[in-house]
Amino acid sequence: MRASVNLHINASPQKVWGLVSDITKMGEYSPEVVEAEWLEGATGPAVGALYRGHVKRNENWPVLYWTTCKVTECVPGQVFEFAVMMGDKAVNTWRYEFKASPSGGTDVTESFDLGDNFLTKLWRPLGGALRERRNARDMLRTLENVKAVAERA
C-alpha cells in the first residue's frame, strides 16, 4: 500500500525542506501528528537519527499512540525520509522530495509506503484502501499547512 501527493510551494527547496525536516514542528502541520521529539541525543535531521512521534489517528474516534521513527534518507533541499519502526523493523516509510520548479519555488511530493506483503494485501480490501485515501488527504493538508508557513513574508 502506498500513496503520494504533490504541491507547489512558492519558497526555495532549502526553506521548505527545513520546515518539513524539523520534526518538532510537525504537530503544527499534520492533522495526525500531535508532537515529536528527537531521541538518543539527536538534535536535528540526519541519517540514523531517531525520534518519537505522538500520533492522533483519525478525527472521529481518535486513537493516541507513540511511534519511534528512524531517519533513513536526509539530503538538505532534496529529500527527507523516515521509517516508522517496530523494534528493528521498518513497517512504514514516509518520504518528502523537494524539486526546484523551473517557474520558481519548489514542487514537493509527500508519500508513504507500507510495502507489499501478505498483511498489506490482506488488509487493503478490509479497510486499507480507505486508510490509503485518508493518508493522501492528510498528506495534502500537511503540505498545504507547510505552504502557508513557507510563503509567509
Per-residue pLDDT tens digits for 103-121? 999 999 999 987 766 665 5
Instruction: Give the closest residue to 108 by CA, choosing from 32, 52, 29.
Output: 29
Position with higher pLDDT, 56 vs 95: 95
Between CA 130 and CA 57 the distance in angstroms is: 13
Task: Answer whether 15's CB lies under 8 Å from 149's CB.
Answer: no
Residue closest to 94 by CA, chosen among 77, 113, 78, 115: 113
pLDDT, residue 65, reads 87
pLDDT tens digits, 14-45: 999 999 999 999 999 999 999 999 999 999 99
DSSP element (H, E) containing 15: helix 13-21
The pTM score is 0.89
- Give the residue numbers spanning the domain of 40: 2-150
* Secondary structure (3-state) at 121: helix
Judged by phi (left if over 0) then psi (alpha if -120 to 50, else beta), residue 34 lies in alpha
Q: CATH number, domain at 88?
A: 3.30.530.20
Q: Using the structure block, give the residue that is written with the C-alpha cell 507547510.
A: 146
Percent above pLDDT 90 for the chain: 70
